[in-house]
A and B are shown apart, each in its own frame.
Chain A
Amino acid sequence: MEALERLYFRYFPEKILGEVLTKRWSDNAVPVFATLLVIGYFLFQNPHFFTFSSMVETSRQLSEFSLVVVAMGIVLLAGGLDLSVGSVFAFANITALICMNLLGWPVWASVLATLTVGGLCGAINGFLIGYLRIRAFLTTLVTLIIIRSIVDIIILRYAVQISAGFPESDLWFFLGEGSILGMPVSFLVAVIVVGLWHVVLTRARAGWHISAVGGGRRSAYNAGLDVKFTVFTTYVWSSLLASLAGLFFAARLNSAGSDTGVGLEIAALTAAVLGGNSLGGGRGSVMKSVLGAIVVLVLTDSMVRVGISGGISSMILGIILLLVVAIDVRWLKNRHKILNKVYVSPAYFRLADLPETDAGSGSPYALNDRLKDVTLIGKGEIEGPEDVIFDRSDNLYCPNRHGDIIRFFAPDYKRWEVFAHIGGHPLGMAFDAAENLNVCIGGMGLYRISPDRTVSKLTDETKRTLLSVIDDSRLKLADDLDIAPDGRIFFSEATIRYDMHDWATDALESRGNGRLICYDPRDGSTQTILRNLQFPNGVCMAGDGQSLLFAETWGCRINRYWFEGPKKGTCEPVIGNLPGYPDNINRASDGNFWVALVGMRTPALDLMLRMPGVRKRMAKRVAQDEWLFPNINTGCVLKFGQTGEILESYWDLGGKNHPMVTSMREHKGYLYLGGLYNDRIGRLKLPNADPLWTSQAFYWGDKP
C-alpha cells in the first residue's frame, strides 16, 4: 500500500494541475477543448468537410466574425455589453455601399466615411454608458433598434439604386475577393488587428486600464484611472471594429439585404463568452474571443451544411450561450476554491526513526535546560528577529517582520534604532569584507545595505527553470546566505511555491521546492546551483574556501556542497536524520558549527509524511488552522563538528524564553539567539568560548 502510494505521488503530475489552475490561461482550456471537439466531430462525420476552397471562404467569414467578437470581447473585458454590434455592422455595410455604388467615392474616402460613421455610433453608446452612466444593456438595446431602423429606412429608399450601381474599382474588388499569398485580404487584416489588440490588452497601458476597470470599477477609480473615459473608448473601439467587419462584408458580397447582421450580437456574445471572456468583466483576452469565434462559426457553418434549419441552429446557439454563461458564473465563483483544494501537493517522504532525545538517554540530543540562564534583549520591542549579527563595533543587528533592520547599540543593547527600512521580511544576514550588510529578504530577494545605510538590490531573479509551469524566476523566499572568500554570495531560496506568511505549509508537501542560488558581485549574475531541495535554509561556509554547509529544513539534514576545488559541483549529506528541523548554521569560535533547530519532529507528522494521500485529503477538507504542523513551538541549538558529529545541545525545557530558535550567532564569548516568531533576542554566556572571537574577524580578518 505504502509502495503504491509512493509510486503514485512520485509519477502522477498532480502538482502541475494545481499550478496550471493558478494561470490565467487555464480559462482557455475549456474553449480549446471545445474547438477541437467540434472540428473533430464534423471531420469524423465527413472527412472531406474542410476542403481548401471552403477553408478560404470560411476564413473570409471568420475574419469578419472574429472582428465583431473581438469587439464584443473588449467591451466585456471592461465590464460592459454591446448589443448594437450587429446593427453597426449592417450600418457600416450600407454606408460603404452608398459611398461606393451610389456616390461613386474613391475607396479610401468610402473606408474613412464608413469607419467614421461606425465610430460615431460607438461614441453615442460610449457617451451614454460611460459618462451618463446609463445601463449598458438598455442603451445598446436601444441603439440596436434605432440603428437597425435607420438601416431599414435607407434600404427601403436606396436598395434598388445600390443594387444597380457597380463600383469600377479594382482596389474595392481586391478588398472583397483578393488574396495575398493565398490568404484572403480580410483575413490578413483581421490577423493584424487581432494581433495589435492582443499586444494592447496584454502589454499596453490602455489595455491594462480596460482590464482594471472591468475587474473592479471602484478600485480602478481609486487607483486614479479615468474610468468614464476608459468605458467610453471601449464602445468606440467596439463599433469601429464592427464597422470594419461590415466594410469587408460590403466588399465581399456587395449586397444590401435587410437581414445583414441580424442576430449577430447573440452569435458574437456566445462566441465571446464561450471563448472564456467573463461576463462580469476583468477576465478575457483577444485569443479567447478568436477561439470562441472559430467554434461558433464552425458550428453554425457545419449545421447549415448538415442541413439543420435556421431556426433550430439559432436555438442551439442560444442554448450554448445559456450553458456557457452558467459555466462562466460557476467557474469564476469556484475557481479559487478548487485552487485552494488542489494547490497543496504532498509528496511521499520517509524519515528514519526519530533519534532519542530523552534526558539521561546519553544521546547527544538529550534534553537539558542550558538555555535557562538566557538573558533577554529587546523583549516585547521587536517582532520576528530571524537572524542576529554584529558589526566590528559590537553593535547588534536583527531584522523584524515590518521590513526593518534594527540596530541595538553596544555594550548593553538597551538602546536601539531602525538602521534601515527595506520592506518584505528580512531573514538571514551576513557582513562582507567591505562592511556591507547583505540581507536575504523574504518576498523580495537579496539586498545590500552599505555602512552609510544606502539600500541597494543585488538580485531578485534567477533563470527560469525549463518547462516549469509557474514562473520561478522571481525569488519568492530568499532565506539565508553566506559569502565565499572571493565575494560570491551563496544563498538559499526556501520554497518557490509558498509565500513568506505560509512558509510552514511547505512542510506538508515535503517535496523539494527550494533552491540554492549563487550571486556573483563581480559580473552581477545570478545562477541556480541546486534545485529540488527540501526547504534549504541555513548556509555557512565550511571554512576550506571550497565548500559550504546548508540545511534542508523539512529533510532534517545538513549537506555539504563544493563550489570549488576537485569535488566542485558535488553535494553530499553531512548530518542526516536530525530530531528536528534545522535552520541557520553559523561558525563557532572553536572551529565547529552551530545549528538552530527551528522545531522538533513529532511522530504523528513523521507518519503522515509517509502518507501523502492523507495529507492531501487533510489539506482539502480540514480548515487551515487545524492542519497538523511541524512542531515549531520548541527548538534547540546544536553544535557539530566538521565531519557532522553532534557535540553539544542547548535546550530550553519549559520553552518559556525561546519557543522557537531560528538562528544563533556567537560573539565574544556569548551566544545570541533569534527566532522568527519571537519578540526577543536571547543572550547566553558560553563557558568555554574564546571571549575575543568575532565572526567578522574570523571571516575577513582583523581590521582597524
Chain B
Amino acid sequence: MKGVLRSIVQRLTGGSGEYSITVPVMDGALKPNNYLDRLPAVGTLEEPDNLVSDGVTAYLTSGPTLYRVDQLGAMTATARETAPVTCLALSPSGALAIGLATGGLRILGGRHDGKVFGIDDKVRIGAPTAAVFADDDTLVVCNGSAVNPATEWRRDLLGLGRTGSVVKVDLASGAASTMADRLAWPSGISLAGGGTVVVSEAWHHRLIGLRLDGTAERVALADLPAYPGRIAAAAGGGYWLSLFAVRSQLQEFVLREPRYRREMMASIDPKYWIAPSLSSGKSFKEPLQAGGVIRLGIHKPWAPTRSYGLVARLDEQLQPVWSAHSRADGERHGITSVAELAGRALITARGSNELLAMDHTELEEPLDLHIQTEAAQ
C-alpha cells in the first residue's frame, strides 16, 4: 500500500524516484575526455566482442570465430563455433568456456573439454553474457535474461527485463545453482577475492557483489551514468570496467512510456529504435536528438548520442579512479571488454571494429588524460 502510494506521488510530482528520468552527470572520475580516440589500434576485425587474457595469451571473439591474440597483437583464428559467441572465460589452467547466442556454454580444452552446459531445461542459460572460472572445476555465468537471447539486449532493456541470474556450474558433475536471480541484465563478472564475485547489473546501472556460497549480496557501485558491461581484474590491482553504452534522458523517458515503447518494438527495425547502441551514425534512419545536429561541420562532443566509448579503471573497492572516453564526435564506441596482455591493456571497440592498445594500466590516471581537442576548445 505504502509502495503504491509512493509510486503515485512520485508519478504526480513531475517524476521523482522511480519515475525520475534524470541521469547522473559524468563528473569526477568519469569526467569526459577523448583518450580512447587517441589510442593506437593494433588490429581491426568485425565486431570484436569478448577479450580474455591470462597475461601471456589472450583470446578474442568475433561473431562465431575465436581468435588467439599474441603479445604483439597479431590475431589467429583458432576455432569457429556454430553460433555467434556471446561470452568467453579462461580458466587458470588454460581451458576456455564459450557462451553461444543460441544459449549454453561449451568448454574447450582442459579436463572438461567438449562438455556443454546450460542447454537442458533444468539449467537453462539462454543468454550467457559473461562468465568467469572460480577454479578449474567451477564456472560462474551471468545469464542476462530468462526471456531474450544475449544478442537481443536492446529488446530486454526496452522490455524492462528483470529476469537475469547468476548461475554457478560445477563442471565435473554438471550441477548448477542459482546464486542470484531477478537481476536486470547481469552483463559482466569478475572474481573479487575472499570467495566473492562482482557482477555488473546493466539495466540498474550498478555493480553488485555476490558471495560464491550464495549468501549475501551488496551494492558495490551504484548510479552509473552508463550501462556497465564486462569487468576484468587488473594486474596492478583493481579492475577494468567496460561500459558499453551511455544512458540518456530521452532513453529513460522512453522506458517510462509503455505505449510508445510497445509500438516501437512491434513496428520498427531494432536498428532504428530509441535504444542505446554499440555504434551509431550508420544510417539516417537512426533517431537524432536536438543536440546532435551538426552545425557548421561540427558534431558537438557533448551531443546526446546513442553510442559512446567508456572504460573505467576501478580500485580494489570498486570505486572509479579514472576513465577513458570516446565522446559523441568520436568513433571508438561500444567498448565490450578490456584485458591486460604483456603489460598493456587491450580494448575491444565494437563501434569502430578495432582492437585498441593502451600502455597505461596503472591505477593512477595517465598524465595526458585530459587534452582538449580542437573541436572542444
Contacts and interface: CB of A to CB of B under 8 A. Distances in A.
Interface of A: 1, 354, 380, 383-384, 504-505, 600-605, 607-608, 611, 614, 617-618, 621-634, 655, 659-660, 677-680
Interface in B287-322: 287-297, 303-304
B293 A632 contact: yes
Interface stretch (B27-35, B80-88, B124-132, B261-269): B261-269
Given A621-B15, A630-B288, A677 B294 contact: yes
Top 7 A-B pairs ranked by shortest CB distance? A625-B291, A634-B284, A604-B287, A600-B284, A679-B296, A631-B288, A659-B294
B135 to A, nearest CB: 46
A602 B21 contact: no
Contacts of B291: 625-626
Question: Most A CB atoms within 10 A — which of B284, B287, B297?
Answer: B284
Contacts of A632: 288, 293
Interface string B240-260: 000000001110010001011
Nearest to A379: B297
Contact of A628 (B14, B285, B289): B289
Given A603-B272, A611-B260, A659-B297, A628 B250 contact: yes
Nearest to B274: A604
B203 interface: no
B242 to A, nearest CB: 24
Interface in B98-140: none
Nearest to B19: A621
Contacts of A618: 250, 253
Contacts of A659: 294, 297
B60 to A, nearest CB: 29
B329 interface: no
A600 B259 contact: no
Question: Most B CB atoms within 10 A — which of A354, A384, A604?
Answer: A604
Given A602-B284, A602-B287, A625-B304, A607 B294 contact: no
B54 interface: no
Nearest to A606: B268
B185 interface: no
Contacts of B303: 625
Nearest to B286: A602
Given A600-B285, A604-B264, A611 B290 contact: no
A604 B304 contact: no
Given A602-B288, A659-B297, A617 B259 contact: no
Contacts of A634: 284
B272 A626 contact: no
17 contacts: A384-B296, A601-B285, A602-B272, A602-B288, A603-B269, A607-B264, A611-B259, A614-B257, A618-B253, A621-B21, A622-B21, A625-B289, A628-B288, A629-B289, A630-B288, A677-B293, A678-B297
Contacts of B15: 621
A605 B290 CA distance: 12
B274 A628 contact: yes
B67 interface: no
B273 interface: yes
Given A602-B284, A625-B289, A627-B289, A617 B296 contact: no
B290 A607 contact: no
B253 A633 contact: no
Contacts of A614: 257, 259-260
Contacts, number: 108
Contacts of B274: 604, 628
A602 B366 CA distance: 41
Contacts of B14: 621
Contact of A627 (B21, B250, B260): B250
A504 B290 contact: yes
A626 B300 CA distance: 13
Interface string B137-163: 000000000000000000000000000
A105 B296 CA distance: 80
B253 A622 contact: yes
A384 B14 CA distance: 38
A630 B285 CA distance: 10
Given A603-B269, A603-B272, A607-B263, A626 B289 contact: yes
Nearest to B251: A626
A631 B306 CA distance: 14
Given A383-B296, A632-B288, 13 more contacts: A1-B259, A380-B297, A607-B263, A607-B267, A611-B259, A621-B15, A622-B250, A626-B248, A626-B291, A627-B250, A628-B274, A629-B293, A677-B295
A538 B366 CA distance: 53
B290 A604 contact: no
Contact of A604 (B272, B292, B297): B272
A602 B285 contact: yes
Contacts of A605: 287
B284 A607 contact: no
Question: Most B CB atoms within 10 A — which of A600, A607, A678?
Answer: A607
A624 B249 CA distance: 10
A367 B77 CA distance: 35
Nearest to A354: B285
Question: Most B CB atoms within 10 A — which of A383, A505, A625?
Answer: A625
B272 A617 contact: no
A380 B298 CA distance: 11
Nearest to B273: A604
Nearest to B268: A603
Contacts of B284: 600, 602, 631, 633-634, 655
A318 B43 CA distance: 78
A626 B250 contact: yes
Contacts of B292: 629, 633
Contact of B288 (A380, A384, A633): A633
A1 B257 CA distance: 14
A608 B253 CA distance: 13
A454 to B, nearest CB: 31
Question: Most B CB atoms within 10 A — which of A602, A611, A679?
Answer: A602
Contacts of A600: 284-285
B263 to A, nearest CB: 6
Contacts of B260: 607-608, 611, 614
Contacts of B248: 626
A504 B293 contact: yes
Given A600-B284, A604-B274, A626 B304 contact: yes
Contacts of A629: 288-290, 292-293
Nearest to A633: B294
Contact of B268 (A604, A631, A655, A679): A604
B78 to A, nearest CB: 36
A24 B274 CA distance: 39
A631 B253 contact: no
Contacts of A630: 288
Interface in B201-260: 248-250, 253, 257, 259-260
